Amino acid sequence: MEQQWTSMVAADFFTVELTRGWGIQQVHVLVMMHLATRRMHIAGIVDEPTQAWLVQVARNETDEEHGFLKEGSYLIHDRAAVFGEKFKTTLAAGGVTTVKLPARSPNLNAHVERVIRSIREECLDQFVIFSRRQLEYLLGEYVTHYHEERPHQGLGNRLISGEQGQSQGKIRRRTRLGGLLSFYDRVSG
Instruction: For residues 31 and 44, give the distance between their C-alpha atoms in angstroms, rounded to a whole number.
Output: 7
Does residue 139 fall inside a structural domain? yes
Does residue 54 fall inside a structural domain? yes
- Binning pLDDT at 50, 70 and 90, where does residue 16 land? very high
Does residue 136 fall inside a structural domain? yes
Does residue 73 fall inside a structural domain? yes
Confidence (pLDDT) at 116: 95
What residues contact residue 58 under an 8 Å CB cut-off, 6+ apart?
Answer: 87, 90, 91, 94, 96
**Domain limits at 145?**
2-163
Using one digit for the tens of pLDDT, what is the confidence trace for 147-172? 887 766 666 666 667 666 666 778 77
Does residue 23 fall inside a structural domain? yes
Does residue 25 fall inside a structural domain? yes
Residue 177 has pLDDT above 60, yes or no: yes
- Binning pLDDT at 50, 70 and 90, where does residue 142 land? very high
Instruction: For residues 31 and 110, give the distance between their C-alpha atoms in angstroms, rounded to a whole number.
Output: 13
Q: How many domains does the chain have?
A: 1
Query: Widest CA span of the chain, in angstroms?
Result: 59
| Residues 26-53, mean pLDDT to the nearest whole number | 94
- Binning pLDDT at 50, 70 and 90, where does residue 105 land? confident
Instruction: For residues 62 and 71, give the distance between their C-alpha atoms in angstroms, rounded to a whole number.
Output: 7
Does residue 35 fall inside a structural domain? yes
Q: Percentage of the chain surpassing pLDDT 90?
A: 51
Does residue 182 fall inside a structural domain? no
**Residue 60 is part of a domain; what is its CATH number?**
3.30.420.10
- Phi, psi for 164 (deg, rounded to 5): -75, 140
Q: Report the chain's mean pLDDT, rounded to a whole number.
A: 86
